[in-house]
Structure 1
Amino acid sequence: MNVDAGRERGRRNSVVGHCAAWLHRAMTDGVSVRPARPGELSELRAIELAAGELFREIGMVAVADHAPPPLSVMAEYQRDGRAWVAADQDDRPVGYILVLLVDGCAHIEQVSIHPAQSRRGIGRLLIDEVDRWAAVQGLPALTLTTFRSVAWNGPYYARLGFRELSPAEFTPRLEEIRAAETAMGLDPADRICMRRDLTG
């Protein structure tokens, strides 16, 4: 490789990286991530219901009609310190994320962003917060299950550095989660398990 050409390519990649980081900060300006509070769990359920309507628009009515977790379940996540919200400038939740411990990894059970706040990088903010939390806990990776065919599911997570797991890589608990999803009526052919190793 020509050394000067390599340096120029590296410089361009650095500029692109800095521009992408600046754009992400600009898009999420005014949004902060913090632990969820007991008094706002009903708001989080409302956010999930609103986010679910996007599935109705692509014909996935059963997914849109699926009820959010009961308040008692969400309260358990909150008490255990495994629920975070993305809050706007007025400290009102506009998105949230719930995390389980699954076979030694931080498993993203749910992440929902209000449609009025979509395409601002808020989901990435929430996932990066969980990444930091998992690192402190000494966990090796984040995992999740999602739809392969939905643009804001599998392809989105792939852009954030998640990779699809092969069936041979499924852990016992991930197998149980997939079985539960199938029992709920979700198409197992379209459901995938994904993982992002922690880099720190």
Structure 2
Amino acid sequence: MHVRETRLTELESLRDIERAAGEPFRAIGMGGIADDEPPGVGELARFVRAGLSWVMAGSGDRPVAYLVADPVDGGLHIEQVSVHPANARRGLGRSLIEHAAAHATGRGLAALTLTTFAEVPWNAPYYERCGFAVLEASALTEGLRAVVARETAAGLGRWPRVCMRRPLRPTPRRPASAP
């Protein structure tokens, strides 16, 4: 398997991955999340055109996981990372997060951020193992407050959520060579 940029022809596949990744929420009493429709093709295309959508491609170069992100207040905000359950627990989500971190670092961004469910084992506790820490409400930037407000308006606030941040180390710049 390998990480690569998402192709515009794969957007329905991303939606299918997200639908399948939502099903485990049903077993923990979060059927509303399992039933929630993924972002539309137009929204996903925006990430692809911005160069901020990556897939983990498996057999036949078909996507089995994906990550989309947006720049927010000097960081790269992970809007969604989903792994098809048939490929779960193989480090694919972590590989996509590391790819996003390298992308962000290469552009001089200070951190990765995301919002997630606080009490779902494969959400906040997982992201903590990936180097993220919960941000207190008072530490949210204007852009992150807007993300939280948008998600709350969409109904995600029915379950405890947190905003998380992972600082990134800047890429050392090599000194200019002498003439």
Normalising to structure 1: TM-score of the pair?
0.82
1:44 aligns with 2:44: no
Q: 2:26 is matched with which residue?
A: 56
- Letter of the 1:38 counterpart: L
Give percent identity, aligned residues only.
51
**Residue 182 of structure 1: CA displacement?**
1.7
Instruction: For structure 2, list consecutive stretches of 5 or more residues without a partner in the other structure.
Output: 171-179
Amino acid of the residue matched to residue 153 of structure 1? N
Please give the residue correspondences for 1:110-149 in structure 2 after superposition, counting only pairs within 5 Å: 110-149=80-119
Which residue is 1:100 aligned to? 70
Larger radius of gyration: 1
**Conserved in 1, the CA contact under 8 Å of 2:69 and 2:76?**
yes
Higher helix residue share: 1
Q: Which moved more, 1:144-153 or 1:188-197?
A: 188-197
Q: Which residue of structure 1 aligns with residue 40 of structure 2?
A: 70
CA contact (8 A) 2:72 2:144 kept: yes
Does structure 1 residue 91 correspond to structure 2 residue 61?
A: yes
**Superposed displacement of residue 188, structure 1:** 6.5
Q: What's the CA shift for 1:133?
A: 0.3
Indicate the residue corresponding to 1:11 in structure 2: none
Give TM-score scaled by structure 2 length.
Answer: 0.92
The structure-2 alpha-carbon separation of the partners of 1:188 and 1:162, relative to structure 1 and needing over 3 Å to count, comes to farther
8 A Cα contact 1:178 1:188, kept in partner: no
